[in-house]
Amino acid sequence: MTPDELRQRLANLHQQLDAAPPMDEESRRLLRTLRDDIERALDQPGTELASEHRHRFEEAAARFEADHPALAGVLRQFVDVLGKAGL
């Protein structure tokens, strides 16, 4: 997967986040942190997301499962995409 394809997937994730039902500030802060980590990795070729970042995505997906199941699914798909991209 090319960096441009990853950026498109990240843009899609942003759209889904913007459309998500209201959530508490802590949840939004977590999602912003994850997004920023991905953007840094894409902006700096050769930078990999540590396994802890992927783990944080998985934790976020589990956290959102009850109140935001569609968002949880998107996060899990994004973890898969990152893994396939080698990030």
Q: What is the mean pLDDT of residues 16-21?
A: 74
Ranges of each domain in the chain: 3-85
Between the CA atoms of 16, 17, 18 and 20, what dihedral angle is there, to the nearest 10 degrees?
Answer: 80
Helix pair 3-19, 69-85: axis angle to 10 deg: 170
Q: Average pLDDT in the 16-20 region?
A: 75
Cβ–Cβ under 8 Å, residues 28 and 9: no
Indicate if the pLDDT at residue 20 is higher than 80: no
Based on C-alpha coordinates, what's the Rg of the chain? Answer: 12
pLDDT digits (tens, 9 = 90+) for 31-86: 888 888 777 777 776 656 666 777 877 888 888 888 888 888 888 887 787 777 77
**Which phi and psi (to 5°) does residue 15 adopt?**
-60, -40
Q: Is the pLDDT of residue 18 over 80?
A: no
Q: Is the pLDDT of residue 21 over 70?
A: yes
